[in-house]
Amino acid sequence: MVIGIDIGSTTTKVAAIISDNNIIKITTRAVDAITSATGAFGKMIMENDFRLDSIDRINMTGAGSSKITGDLFGIKTNKIDEMAAIGAGGKYLSKKDRIIISNIGTGTAIIQVSGNVITHLGGTGVGGGTIIGLAKELLKTTDFDTILRYALKGNINNVDLNVGDIAEANIGFLEKTYTASNFGKMLDIASREDIALGIINLTYQVIGMVSVFAARSKDNHTVVITGNGSNNPIGQKILKAISGMYNIDFDFPADAEYATAIGAALST
Ligand SMILES: Nc1ncnc2c1ncn2[C@@H]1O[C@H](COP(=O)(O)OP(=O)(O)OP(=O)(O)O)[C@@H](O)[C@H]1O
Ligand SMILES: [Mg+2]
């Protein structure tokens, strides 16, 4: 068995692929790289009654993996390029082999998969960390569930300027309801719920548009969203609205938050 460990900037994920329908997954919060990797690995071994000698290899990836040298617990330990791992994991989970992947983690990486060729196209520093950081200052919380709960009750029109606020009619293909400027209105009456929604809207609209441009530049219409940012229900809705405007499909595969760890486990 091969175990994939993804030591991300915020969370560490571990995946073991037992069979196509049986992937064992573990998440822990990132502390230092060594504690994260050994802790998450230990949790997986203990909870699943794995024997250490049943593990052939550990494939480690993610920003924190560079801090770990040598083998873990005497098991052959390889380093896997993070972008290659995201590509392999996104391809496996989406079951498609010509895609653009936007991996929304703490930041966002954009990768092209074209058959067996995986290319890191670029990305944006806007990602999950942006939501947490802005919420810390503006909402006095860093708890993700609280931020989402606020945002569900928010009114975006108190925060964002939309096309209808500045023009009497559509501007070309921009309809009156589309965003003209994120946080560009910011009314005095804006509540913490409105601001929470504004933060998530800003984050996902930037990621969505960068993904659209990446996909179009590669003549592709399918963007697979991976990383913890994939299963954010409000984020999904924002990306689906962009789908309608730009004719790009966004896919949200199951287990997308483990895509990097799964891709590492699949790598040779
Ligand atoms: N329950 C949760 N716990 C922690 N973060 C969460 C949770 N739900 C959503 N998030 C968001 O996911 C982000 C982390 O995503 P993910 O675990 O994919 O990143 P990472 O792999 O640690 O970072 P990167 O890939 O950029 O190095 C956080 O910044 C936060 O906004
Ligand atoms: Mg990551």
pLDDT tens profile 192-202: 999 999 999 99
Give the Cβ contact number of residue 232 at 10 Å.
24
Q: What is the mean pLDDT of residues 99-103?
A: 98
| DSSP-assigned beta bridge partners for residue 110 | 102, 122
Residue 149 has pLDDT above 80, yes or no: yes
**Which segment of 70-74, 100-104, 120-124 scores lowest on mean pLDDT?**
70-74
Structure-model confidence comparison of residues 22 and 106, the more confident one: 106
Between CA 27 and CA 43 the distance in angstroms is 9
What is the tens place of the pLDDT at every residue in 165-194? 998 888 888 888 899 999 999 999 999 999
**30 has pLDDT over 80:** no
Averaged pLDDT for residues 228-252: 96
Confidence of residue 21 (pLDDT cuts 50, 70, 90): confident
Which pLDDT score, from 0 to 100, does residue 173 have? 85
What is the fold of 93-154+191-257? Nucleotidyltransferase; domain 5 (3.30.420)
Mutate to test the pocket of ligand 1, among 6, 11, 36, 86 (most ligand atoms within 8 A of CB): 11
The partner residues of 11 in beta bridges, in order of sequence, read 29
In the reported structure, the alpha carbon of residue 75 is separated from the centroid of ligand 2 by a whole-number distance in angstroms of 23
Residue whose CA is closest, atom 19 of ligand 1?
A: 105
93-154+191-257 has the same fold as 2-79: yes
- pLDDT value, residue 172: 87
pLDDT of residue 177: 87
What pLDDT does residue 81 have? 97
Q: In the prediction, which pLDDT does 176 show?
A: 86
Instruction: Tell me which residue of 112, 108, 124 sits closest to 221, measured CA to CA.
Output: 112
CA of 171 to the centre of ligand 1 (A): 36
pLDDT at 174: 85
For residue 189, give the 3-state DSSP assignment: coil
Ligand 1 neighbours by CB, cut-off 6 Å: 8-11, 63, 105-107, 127-129, 131-132, 144, 227-229, 257
Q: Atom 20 of ligand 1 has which residue's CA nearest to it?
A: 8
Burial environment of residue 54 by CB neighbours within 10 A (0 to 12, 13 to 18, 19 or more): exposed
Q: What share of the chain is helix, strand, coil (3-state, %, to 5)?
A: 45, 25, 30
Note the pLDDT tens digit of each residue in 77-94. 999 999 999 999 999 999
Mean pLDDT calculated for residue range 2-26: 92
Q: Phi and psi at residue 97, in whole multiples of 5°?
A: -120, 15
Domains of the chain, by residue range, sit at 2-79, 93-154+191-257
Which structure tokens are listed for 113? 């998969």
Q: What is the CATH number of domain 2-79?
A: 3.30.420.40
Does the structure show a pLDDT above 90 at 96?
A: yes
The percent of residues in the chain predicted with pLDDT above 70, rounded, is: 100
How much is the pLDDT for 19? Answer: 85
- Minimum mean pLDDT range among 60-69, 116-125, 134-143: 60-69
Give pLDDT tens digits for 205-239. Answer: 999 999 999 999 999 999 999 999 999 999 999 99
In sequence order, what are the beta bridge partners of 180?
none
Q: What is the pTM of this model?
A: 0.96
Distance 8 CA to ligand 2 centre (A): 5
**20 pLDDT band (50/70/90 cuts)?**
confident
**Which residue has a Cα nearest atom 15 of ligand 1?**
105
Residue whose Cα lies nearest atom 9 of ligand 1: it is: 228
